[in-house]
Structure 1
Amino acid sequence: MRSTEQPLRLTLIAPGGRMGKAIAAAVEEDGNFALDPDHGDVIVDFSAPEALATSLDRAVRAAAPILVGTTGLDDFASRRIAEASQTVPVLRASNTSLGVALLEELVERAAQVLGHGWDVEILEMHHRMKRDAPSGTALSLGAAAARGRGEPMRKEDVRSGRDLERSEGAIGFASLRGGTVVGDHDVVFAGAGERFILSHRADSRMIFARGALTAARFLAAQQPGLYTMRDVVGAL
């Protein structure tokens, strides 16, 4: 069994991907962590939706916590994650930035205070190679706004068109792709005669990588269950 003085070992799924390389660089900076391709204390998956089932099965077989940072997942994948969380600790995060986790809290609070009389538009921009739109982070921010209003997020609002009419109080999305943008998110609360905007800018993937390390450290100490970055921030 690993002692508290030993580095936390991470097994990276898709270590050659953008986030895999960033996490490896963050581990190299921090002596409290180490990489182990076969027997990690925590499995970290930032790969692709089609690889998730294999990663979850591996975590369950090894009785190892797993951080799922993959986005673009469907309802079936969500059910698989929920099933795995009954056996091992699972942290699902569309974004592992601590700043974005705080942004979600602010969005939820703003939606609670402002209510349905304010429209919510979420604008996100990422690099040209990003496959899913809206981004997983944008969807999480929309869900936070819906929670603040005490309602589920409506699927019909999850669209990226620029010329779609919206009902009053709708939560809408707009997506931009281009260049090498790591991740920009703006949540616009638009009321009568005023706008309230909450924003986050990611200039480097290292913020996600360092946040992933913080999340892995949190996850290693948890019992089986489903966790989010809000749980991580709440434990700091």
Structure 2
Amino acid sequence: MTGPDKDEAVERAELLLALRKRGIRDRLVMRAFEQVPRERFVEPVFRNLAWNDQALPVDCGQTISQPTVLALMTTALELEGTHTVLEIGTGTGYYAAILGHIAGHVVTLERFRTLAEAAARRIGSLGLANVEVFLADGRLGYRARAPFDRIVLGAAVEEVPSALFDQLAPNGILVAPVGPPEGTQALMRYRRGPEGLEQRELGLVRFVPMLSGVAAVL
């Protein structure tokens, strides 16, 4: 069991083993999860659980997602160092930091000002100059930087907003949990091919629902 008396290096190794057991083999993905210190992105009360393979609650009623789920999403994105990525739902900034270790540039959007500002500080402390955090409505995407090679949603939608598909580059990939706001959703991968969108279901997940608008103050 993870606890304060357990060596962090051992906890990190156990998480990497959990990723391998879930079939994650991509070297860049594994390295990113090893390099990003998850303990900096969780609430202090949960710090002893930081390297557990589990989702944890954070401010504003949001969560920091389960690492194996994020690793599955990252693998599905087929990231390259030249890609520009749009992440919807910054949260604590943990996943944006993961993406920033692999992709060329990451634009991440958060609707809660408190979360966005805290995430920007955490990401900045890691020296990830290729990750930008913006306070914005994720359903609208970020046209100022479109098109994006990859788009990933960190919150569930019953239907992917058309604005996000509009901002997806040719041959781009979008990964999103799609389904009802309560219960489980299907993790879907969409690729913009020459004949339109191709889609594939990757499995069942459980995410908090995506909300509209910007909440400047909680």
Indicate the TM-score class for this superposition, using the shorter chain for normalisation.
under 0.3
Q: TM-score, normalised by structure 2?
A: 0.28
The structure with the largest alpha-carbon Rg is 1
Q: Which has the higher contact order (CA 8 A, sep 6+)?
A: 1
